[in-house]
Amino acid sequence: MSLTAGSRPDGTRPPAAVEEPTAAVAAATVKESVPRRAGKADKVPFRVRWRRDRALILMTLPVIVLLLIFNYVPLLGNVVAFQDYDPYTSSNGITAIFHSPWVGVEQFSRMFDDPLFWGAAKNTIVLFVLQLVLFFPIPIALALVINSVIRPRVRAVAQAIMYLPHFFSWVLVVTVFQQIFGGAGIIAQTLEDHGWSGFDLMTNASLFKYMVTAQAVWKDAGWGIIVFLAALAAVSTDLYEAAAMDGAGRWRRMWHVTLPALRPVVALLLVLRVGDALSVGFEQFLLQRYAVGAGASEVLDTYVWNVGIQHGDFSYAAAVGLAKGVIGVCLVLGANRVAHLLGEQGVYQK
């Protein structure tokens, strides 16, 4: 849970930093139009503002403290990537950082020579592309079908059923798939009863990538339609009516009205997806590692887990994790730039 936040298209991370104009911008705009925002608040003395807002600040603090401890402190902990970290040089894992020798970028150069790392990176990219091609369009298509259903009850029931798997844990999803497609699963049993044998999709390394994509589709495709349905609900009926007046048929209206309405959302989700390209799903792969073997199922996240947690090579694992994180941030920013170039809003505004 901690690692995979936002790794699915449903985890639409909301637009950041579009909140309000900065103080400078606010001051530059007409003053009367922003009476009680930054412009005026700046004139209120700090002590008065503190007295006025201290309750709100106190309320915010617990979350800030949690984030500082569990997000910002570990961020600093990434320095072990530049060390030959040994947890036993001190009684405490954190203070051991100060006793461990610095090795510069040695861990990173090790990474470049490591075929296992490149294997994991390759798997990650292959899976990302596969998910982009086979997973991403499905919620859009589903949303279009659901949206064209007029009866409210049919809509409600269909949506309720499609949302459901999103709330199942990966353990359950993988188990369900195993019981159906696995060697002792229901399909294999049925085939055996009819004289065929040798059916086991779950341990088949070459089919593994399609299998995990199918699992992701089963779990989250239904949930992904929410955003698209909302975008479709926001389309003005006037547009459809005007198009119909001009003689546009069902498909014409879809092409010229419905799909353009989806464009910004699709762009936003694509940006998010590309930004998350290196996190193709962690738990899902870890759970099937034993079944298909590390060769096929190793992605960057599981590689970090394997090297660091399983084998205790903390510095090297942290280096791999750090590299992955840095590339991930670059991907988000880059994808967002592309979105801007295409004239879409992207995650945050320019």
Partner 1 sequence: MSLNTTLIRSLKAPARPVWEEPPSKAGLTAKGGFLLLCCLGVLGPLWIVIVTSLSPKPVIDRVGGLVVIPQGITFVNYKELLSGGQVSRAIMVSVGVTLCGTLFSMTVSVLAAYGLSRRGTLGHRFFLMTMMATMFFGAGLIPTYLLVQSLHLTDTYLSLILPSAVSIFNILVLRAFFMGISPELTESARIDGASDLRILLTIIMPLSRAVLAVISLFYAVGYWSAWFNASIYLTDQRMMPLQNVLIQLVQKNTEAPAGLQQAVATGHLSSLGLQMAVMVLALIPVGIASPFVQRHFKKGMLTGAIKG
Does residue 299 bind partner 1 (CB under 8 A)?
no
Residue of the chain from 140, 211, 257, 265 that contacts partner 1 (CB under 8 A): 265
Residue of the chain from 198, 245, 341, 350 that contacts partner 1 (CB under 8 A): 245
Does residue 300 bind partner 1 (CB under 8 A)?
no
DSSP secondary structure of 155-218 = HHHHHHHHHGGGGS-HHHHHHHHHHHHSTTSHHHHHHHHTT-----STT-TTTHHHHHHHHHHH
Does residue 260 bind partner 1 (CB under 8 A)?
no
Does residue 21 bind partner 1 (CB under 8 A)?
no
Q: What minimum distance in Å lies between the beta carbon of 107 and partner 1?
A: 11
Closer CB to partner 1, 127 or 222, in the complex: 222
Q: Taking the chain, what is the end-to-end CA distance rounded to the nearest angstrom?
A: 31
Structure tokens at 221: 């495709």
Applying CB under 8 A, which part among 102-110, 111-119, 128-136, 179-187 lies near partner 1? 179-187
Closer CB to partner 1, 5 or 342, in the complex: 5
Does residue 241 bind partner 1 (CB under 8 A)?
yes
Residue of the chain from 170, 215, 216, 267 that contacts partner 1 (CB under 8 A): 170
The answer to whether 348 touches 15, Cβ cutoff 8 Å, is yes
Burial class (CB in 10 A: 0-12, 13-18, 19+), 264: middle
Structure tokens at 148: 């064209």
Q: What minimum distance in Å lies between the beta carbon of 279 and partner 1?
A: 9
Q: What minimum distance in Å lies between the beta carbon of 129 and partner 1?
A: 22
The CA-atom distances, in angstroms, between 153 and each of 150, 156, 162, 226, 235 are: 9, 5, 14, 17, 21
Closer CB to partner 1, 122 or 192, in the complex: 192
Burial class (CB in 10 A: 0-12, 13-18, 19+), 6: middle
- Location of structure tokens 């003689």: 247
Closer CB to partner 1, 115 or 247, in the complex: 247
Does residue 109 bind partner 1 (CB under 8 A)?
no
Applying CB under 8 A, which part among 102-110, 188-196, 205-213, 254-262 lies near partner 1? 188-196
The answer to whether 173 touches 165, Cβ cutoff 8 Å, is yes
Does residue 136 bind partner 1 (CB under 8 A)?
no
Query: CA-based angle 164:165:171, to the nearest 5?
Result: 140
The residues in 69-108 that bind partner 1, with binding defined as CB under 8 A, are 69-78, 80, 87, 92-95
Q: What minimum distance in Å lies between the beta carbon of 341 and partner 1?
A: 20
Length of the chain: 350
Applying CB under 8 A, which part among 115-123, 124-132, 143-151, 255-263 lies near partner 1? 143-151
Q: How many CA atoms lie within 13 A of 340 on its CB side?
A: 10
What x-and-dash track marks residues 25-54 binding partner 1 by CB under 8 A? Answer: -----------xxx--x----x--xx-xxx
DSSP secondary structure of 282-300 = SHHHHHHHHHH-HHHH--H
Does residue 270 bind partner 1 (CB under 8 A)?
no
The answer to whether 110 touches 316, Cβ cutoff 8 Å, is yes
Closer CB to partner 1, 230 or 259, in the complex: 230
What x-and-dash track marks residues 216-235 binding partner 1 by CB under 8 A? Answer: --x---x---xx-xxx----
Does residue 308 bind partner 1 (CB under 8 A)?
yes
